[in-house]
Structure 1
């Protein structure tokens, strides 16, 4: 791994009553160690701070927080990180190559690639001329390579279950090369099942390592698939 630790510099924070420092998981963060595996997942309910922290890491890496790497210069309204200047990253060694995937603003990244005429770096075809899922896979296959850190915010947003499995194979091939690190915020029980990954839950007001089978994503999906009719009766009854 390249990125070893994320620290929140509490002494610099003006007030914990203001966003994003008012988010319980952020307020209670002091140090997050990333030394166990090349793949780390951030999981938790909406609003628990996982995307906020991932965006701050991207900002500190000097990636475009609208999505992209260090050399992708374009702007999208309201993509600045409010947390980035308050965290410290520890590296060994530090890398500058990588990418921040922000699913919600990927359209703007694709437009940027069209504007600069960089289609060849993404399979030779405009990302806008592919389906949403195809464009994500084109990014993964053509833009991702070795000695880099990849920060992915909900990459499953455009991927069918089958394409999520394809993504896992791409991820695994990069991990096997030994010089790629992934930090992924996700709601997908398929992606979370990647072998030997570290999973940090942002639920319950803290950031805590958790086993795959203990995640809500696994438990709710498993229960639903095994007890669909009963589950639907329970939640749809008046």
Structure 2
């Protein structure tokens, strides 16, 4: 592992009444210790998981619209206000890596089309814009991801079918077991969260706390739905009757 700890510098924050410091999970944060090569952030929409991941990416020098340290392009205001108030503890520090932001991946792909001069060698030899959304994600994972790097992925499942999510798990496993790749992933996917021996941090209930896979809503709701689909839907829709 490279990134060992994320600390919120509370003494530098003037007020917790403004976003993003007003997010309950961020407000309660002191530090997160990173003990595994694969770490997941989970929580409801607006819980702060993507906000913190973006701040980590910004602190790493990655483009917060998506990319690495050498991908410079403007989409919208991409500075993370939170990044100015966190400290990253490394051992050793790495500069190689990538921040995947699913919602702005199209802008990253357009940027690569504009600057690529080597026949998209880092993306499987084909423009990302000439592939489906899921295919372009996998091209990125398979060709640009390599050793001695940290990878920050924000909802990578957004473009992936369940089968392709399993492919991503295999890619993560191949890189992680070599001992020189680290992943921090914000996700809603119960498939990705099933990665063995990973740490899962929940951002729900106004705090950031470690949680077991089977205790996540992602697992329990999906399991209940699959095992009790008719009853689940009946309960869900009965208010409309």
Q: Describe how 1:36-185 pairs up with structure 2 within 5 A.
A: 37-118=36-117, 119-185=120-186
**TM-score calculated relative to the size of structure 1:** 0.99
Q: What is the SS of the residue equivalent to 1:191?
A: helix
Question: C-alpha distance in 1, partners of 2:40/2:77?
Answer: 25
Distance (Å, rounded) in 2 between the aligned partners of 1:153 and 1:80: 16
Query: Once the 2 structures are TM-superposed, how far is the Cα of residue 80 of structure 1 from its aligned partner?
Result: 2.1
1:16 is aligned to 16
Partner residue, 2:202 = 201
Measure, in 1, the Cα distance between the counterparts of 2:230 and 2:74. 47
Displacement of 1:82: 1.6
Q: CA deviation at 1:107?
A: 0.1
**The residue matched to 1:99 in structure 2 has which SS?**
strand
Q: Which residue of 1 aligns with 2:5?
A: 5
SS in 2 for 1:146: coil
Residues 59-115 of structure 1 show CA distances to partners (whole Å, capped at 9, x for unaligned) of 000000010000001011133212001000000000000000000000000001000
Given the two structures, how large is their TM-score scaled by the length of structure 2? 0.97
Aligned length: 237
Rounded to whole Å, the distance in 1 between the matches of 2:142 and 2:78 is: 26
Q: CA deviation at 1:120?
A: 1.7
Is residue 231 of structure 1 aligned with residue 227 of structure 2?
no
For the residues of structure 1 that align with 2:78 and 2:107, how far apart are their CA atoms?
Answer: 12
Alpha-carbon distance in structure 1 between the residues aligned to 2:189 and 2:122: 28
Displacement of 1:121 in angstroms is 1.3
Q: Which residue of 2 aligns with 1:188?
A: 189
What secondary structure, in the 3-state scheme, does the structure 2 residue paired with 1:54 have? helix
Distance, in Å, in 2 between the alignment partners of 1:57 and 1:41 is 14
Structure 1: 4+ residue segments shifted above 3 A: none
Q: Distance in 2 between matches of 1:117 and 1:45?
A: 37
The reply on whether 1:30 has 2:30 as its aligned counterpart is yes
Q: CA deviation at 1:210?
A: 0.2
Shift, 1:17, TM fit: 0.1
